[in-house]
Amino acid sequence: MSRIAKRFAKLKAENRAALVTFITAGDPDHATSQALLDGMPAAGADIIELGMPFTDPMADGPAIQLAAGRALAAGGSLRQTLEMVEAFRKTDAETPIILMGYYNPVYAWGAEKFAADAAKAGVDGLIIVDLPPEEADELVPFLRQAGIDFIVLTTPTSDDARLPVVLANASGFVYYVSIAGITGTASAAQSAIDEAVARIRRHTGLPVCVGFGIKDPAQAAEVARVADGAVVGSAIVSVLADNIGKPGAVSAPLALVKDLAAGVRGARN
């Protein structure tokens, strides 16, 4: 059983959803980003998404675009991202780590070699925002061979006809993008999220996590009542940005993660 499957089985036994946290690898520099990554599990993150810094993150809003820019300016790279995961695994063998980003760097690395190198570093899942389901076969077989889950994105526009195509290669969990837009901007109505999660579950037995637009513990708790996980990225990245160069560069984002975790853990009580 994969680390992701083990984590969702554990959470199901505890009758609670996952808190899935996102940061960009190398933001604002390698040391700060590594310290933040390493501190996430103790703060309450159940699953961690690590953004692969990229020059044209077209699905991301200003907060994560700026984070990618800071990481690249500080020397961030795909290689450094894998090195961060490898360092994390020296102290944490249980928390699933998912890389999230765009296909160009993976394609340039070579799909087969990237899958093998990511697995060796300790990566459990991969989200490629701009790889259409119809072209996923050039990557997914290598991920399966390496034991890495391919986590797909569904959106409010993924209707019942489209969902089977989107979910064809899915494993690990399904990431529901709750707004038709970029990260960290608008928030979806809870009723729309409830309906979408129920509809996705009619098409798959995989856990369904919801992200894009979740900014605080109350929103995370609302999502955690109906979904298998709440994904928070821009809010954490924004707190980090507000504290760059200050003593709270690591502690302030981790304090938010702790608050979010409390919201998620109390959602079904």
Q: Containing H/E element for 240?
A: helix 234-242
**Which residues, in sequence order, are bridge partners of residue 126?**
99, 150
Q: CATH code at 245?
A: 3.20.20.70
Name the residue with higher pLDDT: 58 or 100. 100
19 φ/ψ angles, rounded to the nearest 5 degrees: -95, 115
Question: Higher pLDDT residue, 194 or 109?
Answer: 109
Residues 196-230: tens digit of each pLDDT: 999 999 999 999 999 888 889 999 999 999 999 99
Q: Under 8 Å CB-to-CB from 88, ≥6 apart: which residues?
A: 34, 37, 38, 97, 122
pLDDT of residue 256 exceeding 70, the answer is: yes
- What's the confidence (pLDDT) of residue 182? 60
**Starting at the edge strand that comes first in sequence, how are the strands of the sheet with 125-128 ordered?**
149-150, 125-128, 97-101, 47-51, 18-24, 229-232, 208-211, 174-177, 152-154
Digit-coded pLDDT (tens) for 164-205: 999 999 999 999 988 766 665 666 677 888 889 999 999 999
Whole-prediction pTM value?
0.95
Number of domains in the chain: 1
- Domain with 16 in it: 3-266
pLDDT of residue 92 exceeding 80, the answer is yes
Report, as an integer, the average pLDDT of 44-59.
Answer: 91
Mean pLDDT of 141-146: 98
Average of per-residue pLDDT across 234-254: 96
Spatial contact of 25 and 50, defined as CB atoms under 8 Å apart: yes
Confidence class for position 34, pLDDT limits 50, 70, 90 = very high
Q: Which residue did the predictor score with more confidence, 183 or 4?
A: 4
Instruction: Return d(Cα 261, Cα 142) in angstroms, integer.
Output: 34
Is 81's pLDDT higher than 70? yes
Q: What is the Cα Rg of the chain in Å?
A: 17
Catalytic residues: 49, 60
Annotate 202-239 with DSSP letters as a single string: TT-SS-EEEESS--SHHHHHHHHHHSSEEEE-HHHHHH
**In the block, which residue shows the tokens 């955690």?**
224
Better pLDDT: 61 or 162? 162
pLDDT at 186: 60
Give exposure, 89-109, as e/b (b: 16+ Cβ within 10 Å).
Answer: beeeeebbbbbbbbbebbeeb
**Which range among 39-43, 89-93, 214-218, 248-252 shows the weakest confidence by mean pLDDT?**
214-218
